[in-house]
Chains A and B, each alone.
Chain A
């Protein structure tokens, strides 16, 4: 193997090993350690100068105590459960709103389509934080929504700092991730199939349910994963739009780390979150590979 090829592979490889895989090992290691009032705030710390006996001694001090703690305190499993539930419901709502948009884009005249596509992509490039922030002004108790309701002579509603605001936030910020994959499957679809179905006696509505919808399934699946996976670990939306009763694991991890300074428990929370997400991540990659075939 020549030197150039070796360095071409070695540089990104070494970078990812050092800044992606090794940090992960450290999280795993700290999740097996104990909380301590010291700097860094966990024990034991590994001292390589002590040689083999020190390493053996170090390994013998690791245990699964933090994981046992996660199962005992119901805050944690409730937070995991509620994150998965909020993400799943929000994903479903995003699908319901996103599908008609993607469908209408695919049906729009050809010359409009690049512009429509750009209009969907534009919010994706705009700061996530700003798009979440925009809803605070709308949903707050004296916000634009309640001003409009008051103008129409209706009762004001409380939305900000509730789970409803979290759903709105997730649907709003992740909508482009749902629309784009669905649009790309619909756009590639062979419309002769619809005509064939109609020639064979299907009404347009029947043709949609029996031909278009099944054919756009890969795009729907991809969109759902692209919304669901990051939404489970979401931190910004529940902390800005959610209330005290909004339980999401990303927020729990953040508070465990920054407020309680309990690094071992925060690490254990991260490891379990990753284990939960491994299943959808693997399913998502299977779906992507199938589409490429």
Chain B
């Protein structure tokens, strides 16, 4: 490994300062007493109290959480199926179209996805509300799930699956008891990715939500258009806190799993070696 120079240290410092300073300022000023967001007037948790008394925000948050939960769940099921079909499904009629339709939503501008889904819902006379947002979010989240899961399916050793099939498992059993446990980490991170994407989406939700349902990003956007407000700062701080907690926990868990896997592998090798010695001794 070559030297870690001053230049590298400087670019890391400035890079991370640029990434994190705006969020740190936001968090610090969420504890500001003053209604004027940019003028510091002493420490206070007043705006958190105001936030939890704000019915509009609470309602929107509840809608958003339900939408994100159902969209992420449906997207995980459909996306995992799609990934399995793409990687293991072999040839079938219209495969190229299928893979194109899976990857296209990843790069499609949100305004186009939102517009096209809204026009669909209107032409089939579906009332806009929570259901239409869930349908829209499932569609764009399943692309992300499919990408995450298929990269895991590509990288794992197929002979394990084949061994199960040779030993008499049906394809479904083989999938449930061999493939699924192996791809599970990817399925879980696909769900989490879908959940955060749905939680975060403003543009597609604005097109597909009717007057009956308002999500948190729509609510934030309409209030942010009028300028900064201390309540939004408090809300942002809570959301940043939840994400930070989730990401740090996930990375700690994956680190622990890596350590455990390495330990299991070592034990298996040791056990194998001992068996070998015993076999030779007898």
Contacts and interface: CB of A to CB of B under 8 A. Distances in A.
A273 B94 contact: no
B11 A134 contact: no
A157 interface: no
The size bracket of the interface on A is: 35 or more
Contacts of B184: none
B119 interface: yes
Contact of B199 (A16, A127, A284): A127
B115 A104 contact: no
> What is the interface of chain A mostly: helix, strand, loop, or mixed?
helix
A233 B110 contact: yes
Contact of B111 (A9, A142, A144, A254): A254
A76 interface: no
Contact of A267 (B4, B119, B136, B243): B119
A12 B85 contact: yes
Interface in B225-249: 225, 227-228, 232-233, 236, 239-240, 243-244, 246-248
Nearest to A109: B4
Interface residues of B, number: 81
> What is the interface of chain B mostly: helix, strand, loop, or mixed?
helix
B22 A138 contact: yes
Contacts, number: 230
Contact of A128 (B18, B104, B200, B227): B200
A22 B116 CA distance: 9
A143 interface: yes
B51 interface: no
A54 interface: no
A133 B15 contact: no
17 contacts: A8-B89, A15-B138, A24-B116, A27-B119, A122-B243, A125-B243, A126-B244, A127-B239, A129-B220, A133-B220, A134-B23, A138-B22, A140-B38, A175-B18, A239-B225, A250-B110, A263-B119
Interface of B: 1-2, 4-5, 7-9, 11-12, 15-16, 18-20, 22-23, 25-26, 29, 37-38, 78-79, 81-82, 84-85, 89, 92, 94, 98, 101-105, 107-112, 115-117, 119-120, 122-123, 135-136, 138-139, 142, 171-172, 196, 199-200, 202-203, 207, 217, 220-221, 224-225, 227-228, 232-233, 236, 239-240, 243-244, 246-248, 251, 255
Interface of A: 4-5, 8-9, 11-13, 15-17, 19-24, 26-27, 30, 40, 97, 100-101, 103-105, 107-110, 114, 116, 118-123, 125-131, 133-138, 140, 142-144, 147, 172, 175-176, 179, 191, 194, 229-230, 232-233, 235-236, 239-240, 250, 253-254, 257, 263, 266-267, 270, 273-274, 277, 281, 284-285
Closest 6 CB pairs of A and B: A233-B109, A23-B116, A104-B8, A100-B11, A101-B15, A134-B22
